[in-house]
Structure 1
Amino acid sequence: MAAAPPVCDFGWPAVDARLPGVDGLACSIFDQAGPKGLVVAFICNHCPYVKAVIARIVRDAIGLKAHGIGFVAISANDAEAYPQDSFDNMKRFASQNALPFPYLYDEDQSVAKAYGAVCTPDFFGFNKDMKLQYRGRLDASRKEIGPADLRRDLYEAMVMVALFGKGPSEQQPSIGCAIKWKASACQA
């Protein structure tokens, strides 16, 4: 089922956490920030929306690094109910897609809840002060790979954040598969 997150809550402070990465090391979300900001992306391995845009996510993460913007991805799906999203499958997904950023596992889903993540992919763009400036889509792709000339919403917004510390006032929400919450996470 497709889900769309709410609009950007400008100035909302990022939440830090230390999570295990597919490289075998635990890392802090904040440690991934560049001097101009950070993108925190909630993704998963099996989502058709993520699969359709993963090459573009990689492209834009590499491009944003040159602008001083760091990038980190987090999977929070219930791996018991969705074994495709297990930590071992996260490692395979990261390797197959040559992810140039940390891919972290939020097994207890506390980080996804703290961020208010709704879907995969769900992008949060922070300025150098770790204040939210972008909550929107990567581009207009859906479950199918879009044309190569699609406007790069996330990339353009984060370049603006790098230059001015503020994101665009007009933002299009991301759309994707709803995060697969554990029964206990929904009740907490």
Structure 2
Amino acid sequence: MVALNPPVCDFGWPAPDFDLPGTDGKRHTLAGCRGTNGLLVAFICNHCPYVQAVIDRLVRDAAELQRLGVGVVAISSNDATAYPADAFPEMARFAEQHAFTFPYLHDESQAVARAYGAVCTPDFFGFNAALELQYRGRLDDTGRGPARADARRELFEAMRAVAESGRGPQAQTASIGCSLKWKA
């Protein structure tokens, strides 16, 4: 396992379009996932210890962001042949187990991850209502450690600001996680 950090936020970068199957049996697009006040795109997978450490907090934050008009979508782009724990049926179980309130999409071709420049799981992309990038940071400072009551909710606070003002914070700390598992 190699822990990687994504690059810093490229403010104003436009969200690439996508059309992917979800664990709910429907297809989802960028336009269909966006909220009136923005969109959070989270590249995750099932087996990554960094994702497993934060998934319940991500689900909590996603539900609160959705109430603020921010759409939320999670995408798994890992090579499911090499990592069967990330296969589509397992994704559906993972989403149900953690009570996702947002679509969980399968990027089997990995084209969407490449279009976004995703590098690790979790990797967060926060867009404003105009679908311009405003946040490319971490959920909080716990990494793969246990949740702390005093952990600042960096992702939630940033996306709340984006929902209210259209702008993300200038100071952002990159996420850390397992490298995306690319196909050979």
Does the alignment reach a TM-score above 0.5? Answer: yes
Matched residues in 2 for 1:139 and 1:68: separation? 21
* Match runs of 1:86-97 below 5 Å: 86-97=87-98
> 1:53 aligns to what?
54
- Cα offsets for 1:56-93 (capped at 9, x unmatched): 00000001112111100000000011011000100110
Unaligned runs of 5+ in 2: none
Matched residues in 2 for 1:114 and 1:145: separation? 32
Tell me the TM-score normalized by structure 1.
0.96
Query: Is it true that 1:16 corresponds to 2:17 in the alignment?
Result: yes
Alpha-carbon RMSD: 0.7
- Kindly state the Cα deviation for residue 29 of structure 1 after the two structures are TM-superposed: 2.5
Query: Is it true that 1:154 corresponds to 2:175 in the alignment?
Result: no
The secondary structure found in structure 2 opposite 1:11 is coil
Matched residues in 1 for 2:102 and 2:146: separation? 22
> 1:77 aligns to what?
78
> 1:175 aligns to what?
176
Matched residues in 1 for 2:79 and 2:70: separation? 29
**How many equivalent residue pairs?**
183
Letter paired with 2:99 = A
* Runs of 4+ with >3 A deviation: none
- Kindly state the Cα deviation for residue 12 of structure 1 after the two structures are TM-superposed: 0.2
Unaligned runs of 5+ in 1: 184-188
- Cα offsets for 1:4-26 (capped at 9, x unmatched): 10000000000111100001111
Tell me the TM-score normalized by structure 2.
0.98
* Match runs of 1:78-157 below 5 Å: 78-157=79-158
Matched residues in 1 for 2:60 and 2:8: separation? 24
Matched residues in 2 for 1:2 and 1:30: separation? 32
Matched residues in 2 for 1:121 and 1:139: separation? 11
Matched residues in 1 for 2:180 and 2:149: separation? 27
Letter paired with 2:101 = P
Over the matched positions of the two proteins, sequence identity in percent amounts to 62
Asked if the contact 1:39–1:124 (Cα under 8 Å) also holds between the matched residues in 2, the reply is: yes
Letter paired with 2:3 = A
Letter paired with 2:135 = Y
